[in-house]
Amino acid sequence: MENAVERVGFDPRSLWITLGTLLALAAAALMILQLVKIFRELRHPRLLDERTVREKLQSDHERLTKLEQSTERQETELKLLLRSQIVMLHHSIDGNSVNNLKAMLKQIEEYLVFGEIRE
């Protein structure tokens, strides 16, 4: 090692110790800066842009409206199907209720054509 010290003018081990110390200090400084940034965000949360919030609310409202309309349509169709099954069961049990079958057929046709049940 004395030859290396004489050639370079300093001990190479001290160079490694110095570089390691500098890296450790830099890492500690970065961690402190990140903690400061996190604490600032916690103290002063970033407010969302009012326009962005309104756009999100509008899109959510439109989506919920479509879902409600779809649900109402499905409920109407389910009621129509159940009523038609009841009429067919009555007809199959006693053989009568032909007029009820004709009325039910008319209601189904009107629903398929006009999209609503007309009573």
CA dist., res. 46 & res. 108, Å (int): 56
pLDDT per residue, tens digit, the chain (119 aa), is 556 556 666 677 777 888 889 999 999 999 999 999 888 877 776 666 777 888 899 999 999 999 999 999 899 889 888 888 888 888 888 877 788 888 888 888 888 888 776 66
Q: Looking at residue 106, what is its pLDDT?
A: 86
DSSP 1-14: -HHHHHHHSS-HHH
CA dist., res. 41 & res. 64, Å (int): 33
Q: Looking at residue 47, what is its pLDDT?
A: 65
Q: Are the beta carbons of 80 and 107 closer than 8 angstroms?
A: yes
Helix H segments across the chain? 2-8, 12-43, 50-94, 98-114
Domain ranges across the chain: 1-46, 80-119
Q: Are the beta carbons of 55 and 86 closer than 8 angstroms?
A: no
